[in-house]
């Protein structure tokens, strides 16, 4: 049985070259958007803008400029987090989303029927419909490459090793060393998703960030969608009970009216 595998993305060494985006598109034969005629964002070098069904890697450009000489670019290659407790897998009604032997989360395109429950369930906005297949799609962590002992296309292509692939245990050790190194240099570095006791049981694709998670478009405390199930169901049952009693009381009163018994009086 293979051990859990994943990505550690060190955002401090990402140079925004988008080699990962290209490698992902090429290996997974993902189609171009709008026939290749793409509108530029106009306010950023980031023209991909988001992860979706045909963009399984996205290099996020965060431009923090206070003035002409005071600013920085933060860059982060974003991807499916392959959550240990995955919301998409939890709600998928067809069983199309599975956990693989590498502890990664994969959507089986031949099973998915495009109901889109997983899109709304993912706290990171990773999944979307691929218009060619009509099914929900996202990063598979190159399951086909892993099966034959190759590393995923994106990390293979990354020229700065910002995206590192490996066993989760080893990656966590490596990531902590890097955080310690940066902190010793006075950089405020934190790991996001590396804690197996943290949100969603840890993310098998975790990050080293130098600013707040929200700045990178990441939720501070991602949660499973079923957190609302018990409360929402209870309130619905309570509402149904109140309406049921109201309906029954109305009818009982009518019967008493018919019988002309005590309490008779026209409420209707």
Partner 1 sequence: MSDTFFSGAPHWAWLIILYFFVGGIAGGACFLAAVVDWFGGPEDRPVVRTGYSVAAWGAILSGALLTIDLGRPLRFWHMLFQSANVPALMFKGWSPISFGAWAILVFGLFAVLSALGGMAEEGRLHNPALRAVGGAVRGGLAKVVGGVAGLLGVFIAGYTGILLSVTNRPIWADSPWLGALFVASGASTGAAALILLAPGRGATEQSLARLSAFDTKALVVELLVLVLFVASLGSVNRVWIGFWGLVLLVGVVGLGIVAPLRLHLQRRPLASAAKLVLLGGFLLRVATILASEGIERYRVAAGM
Residues ≥6 apart with Cβ < 8 Å to 59:
14, 16, 17, 18, 20, 21, 46, 48, 75, 76, 77, 78
Nearest-angstrom CA–CA distance, 268 and 253: 9
Residue 104 structure tokens? 């990664």
- In the complex with partner 1, the residue whose CB is nearer, 126 or 175, is 126
Residues of this chain, 236-255, that bind partner 1 according to CB under 8 A: 236, 238-240, 242-244, 246-248, 250-252, 254-255
Binder of partner 1 out of 64, 160, 181, 233 (CB under 8 A)? 233
Q: How far is the CB of 261 from partner 1 (least distance, A)?
A: 15
Residue 109 or 167: which CB sits closer to partner 1?
109
Vertex 240, ends 234 and 242: CA angle to 5°? Answer: 105
Q: Which of 18, 218, 249, 242 is nearest to 126 (CA)?
A: 218
With CB under 8 A as the rule, give the number of residues binding partner 1. 73
First to last CA, the chain: 70
Binding residues among 178-217 for partner 1 as defined by CB under 8 A: 214, 216-217
Of 61, 59, 62, 63, which Cα lies nearest the Cα of 78? 59
Letters for 95-124 (x = contact with partner 1 by CB under 8 A, - = none) are: xx-------------xxxxxxxx-xxxxxx
Of the candidates 62, 191, 193, 82, the residue with the CA atom closest to the CA atom of residue 127:
82
49 binds partner 1 (CB under 8 A): yes
- Inter-residue contact 133 to 109 (CB < 8 Å): yes
Q: Does 71 bind partner 1 (CB under 8 A)?
A: no
Q: Between 115 and 210, whose beta carbon lies closer to partner 1?
A: 115
Q: At its nearest, how many Å lie between partner 1 and the CB of residue 230? A: 9
Q: Among 231, 154, 220, which Cα is nearest to 193's? A: 220
- Asked whether position 226 contacts partner 1 by CB under 8 A, the answer is yes
- Closer by beta carbon to partner 1, 96 or else 209: 96
Between 40 and 149, whose beta carbon lies closer to partner 1?
A: 40
CA 241 to chain centre: 37
Q: Which of 91, 157, 203, 209 binds partner 1 (CB under 8 A)?
A: 91
Can residue 47 be called a binding residue for partner 1 (CB under 8 A)? no
The only residue of 15, 26, 47, 50 in contact with partner 1, by rule CB under 8 A: 50
* Span 150-179, contacts to partner 1 by CB under 8 A: none
For residue 225, give the nearest of 115, 134, 102, 90 by alpha carbon: 90
């Amino acid at each position: 049985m293979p051990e859990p595998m994943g990505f550690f993305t060190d955002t401090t060494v990402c140079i925004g070259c988008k080699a990962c985006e290209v490698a992902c598109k090429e290996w997974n034969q993902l189609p171009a958007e709008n026939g290749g005629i793409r509108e530029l964002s106009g306010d950023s070098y980031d023209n991909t803008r988001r992860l979706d069904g045909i963009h399984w890697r996205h290099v996020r450009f965060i431009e923090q400029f206070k003035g002409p000489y005071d600013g920085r670019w933060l860059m982060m290659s974003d991807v499916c987090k392959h959550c240990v407790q995955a919301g998409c897998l939890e709600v998928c009604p067809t069983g199309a989303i599975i956990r693989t032997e590498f502890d990664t989360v994969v959507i089986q395109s031949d099973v998915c029927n495009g109901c889109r429950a997983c899109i709304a369930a993912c706290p990171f906005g990773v999944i979307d419909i691929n218009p060619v297949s009509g099914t929900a799609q996202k990063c598979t962590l190159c399951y086909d490459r892993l099966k034959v002992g190759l590393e995923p296309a994106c990390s293979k292509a990354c020229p700065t090793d910002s995206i590192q692939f490996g066993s989760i245990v080893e990656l966590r050790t490596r990531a902590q060393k890097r955080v310690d190194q940066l902190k010793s240099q006075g950089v405020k570095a934190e790991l996001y998703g590396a804690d197996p006791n943290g949100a969603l049981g840890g993310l098998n694709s975790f990050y080293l960030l130098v600013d707040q998670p929200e700045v990178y478009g990441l939720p501070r405390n991602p949660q499973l969608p079923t957190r609302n199930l018990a409360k929402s169901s209870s309130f619905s049952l309570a509402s149904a009970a109140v309406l049921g009693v109201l309906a029954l009381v109305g009818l009982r009163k009518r019967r008493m009216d018919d019988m002309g018994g005590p309490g008779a009086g026209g409420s209707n």
